[in-house]
Amino acid sequence: AGLQTRGEVSALGDALRTLLDSPRGRTATGIVVISDGSVNGGSPPTEEAALAAERGVPLYVYGTGITNPKDLAVREITGPRGVFQDEYIE
């Protein structure tokens, strides 16, 4: 059905904190972030990025965003929520 929004704010910092504190039994070996960099709520992503660095978790950031969003649309992102080191995914 497509991507649906669930709120009025983009809380990138809070999302990073949730991933860093996720009780999955193993420490994340990296986090991929796809963002236009717009943050209008939650904790500052710079604080959570510093926490990731302290924990040795690299952030792989793919910046998106343009002044006219008609030029780009992310329609679907598929894959598992998390992937462990040396794990093969399709």
pLDDT digits (tens, 9 = 90+) for 41-70: 888 888 999 999 998 999 998 887 655 556
**Where residue 79 falls among pLDDT bands split at 50, 70, 90?**
confident
pLDDT given at position 50: 93
pLDDT score, position 83: 77
The contacts found for 20-27 with CB under 8 angstroms, 24 or more apart, are: 20/48, 20/51, 20/52, 20/55, 20/57, 22/82, 24/82, 26/84, 27/55, 27/56, 27/57
**Residue 31 pLDDT exceeds 60:** yes
Number of H helices, E strands in the chain: 2, 2
Which DSSP letter does residue 70 get?
Answer: G
Using the structure block, give the residue that is written with the tokens 């809380």.
Answer: 11
- Write down the mean pLDDT value for the chain: 79
Rounded to two decimals, the pTM is 0.60
